[in-house]
Amino acid sequence: MKISVIGAGNVGASAASAIMLRKIADEIALVDIFGNVALAKAMDLAQSAAVFDIDVKISGGDDFSLIKDSDIVVVTAGSPRKEGQSREDLLLKNAQIVKSTVEKIAKFAPNCIIINVTNPLDILTFVTYKVSGFDKSRILGMAGELDSARLKFEISKRLNLQNSQIKAHVMGAHNDDMLVLKDNINVTLSDDEFEEISNDTKTGGAKFVKLLGTSAYYAPGAAAAKMCEAIKDESDEWLSCCVVVDDGLTCGRRVKLNKNGIAKIKDPSQEEKEALVKSENDIRKNINFLIESSVLS
């Protein structure tokens, strides 16, 4: 399997590293507008593979032809969120970047599955869908697995449980309106515990921005790698991913993945449908804004 990562910054390099260490791909390509950065990080990753006797070909540069024949392309290119900046503030700037990137992906890797990681996640996953012209089964956004991991982290921290003991899924938008429900957690929490854990999960990304001055990268990279692994192994596990719900909406759902992309989307319960309304309305509003702008023309 060949996996390409567009964007050799913190998130892209972390994703490529996790893909390499999990032995998901036989070939990895790292592409960035700063070609020497992508080349250097590809060399570093290749030497890391040598440390662990992992047989994988890793290339890097600014030439999009490097992604030719990719099975999966992970898009991390874009401007990271800065302190005091909402995900929505990034919308127009990153929409242009993602549009240009996806046009090149469609040219050089027309049969791939695209996993978008660039924020604002849900809206730019819609841009990926529209610009690529790909079937919606081959368009995914990485957010739900990251938010679910943050939820598991908060539960583990408070209840002193091992990660493997916890099952938890977050759905909806990748912002403060993300859907965290007790019914989607396999451990018992008091109302107070749940409220604290839910709030800390929803503000998990902002904490990194405050501490680092930029977004997190190890966990987002790991979450993207997990999605790649599920595609390769055709896992039967339900994952939380952003998907194309209809022709005007991309939003977080629970899905099963295979080598063709999305194998199955789990229908939300009635409670989930009602709780998803605000997330979905806000996403539609931003999507409509992009449609009315020149970005998708």
Question: Which positions are annotated as active-site residues?
Answer: 174
- Rounded CA-CA distance 257/123 in Å is 21
Number of H helices, E strands in the chain: 9, 9
3-state secondary structure of 212: helix
Residue 275's beta-bridge partner residues? none
> Which amino acid, residue 7?
G
Contact by Cβ (8 Å): 88, 286: yes
- Could you tell me if residue 263 is left (phi over 0), alpha (psi between -120 and 50 degrees) or otherwise beta? alpha
Q: What are phi and psi of 142, to 5 degrees?
A: -90, 110
- Rounded CA-CA distance 85/70 in Å is 34
Burial (0-12, 13-18, 19+ Cβ within 10 Å), 109? buried
3-state secondary structure of 255: strand
Name the nearest CA neighbour of 17 among 44, 36, 53. Answer: 44
For 177-209, letters b (16+ CB in 10 Å) and e give: bbbbbeebbeeebeeeebeebbebbbebbbebb
Tokens encoding 188? 């018992």
- Rounded CA-CA distance 251/242 in Å is 5
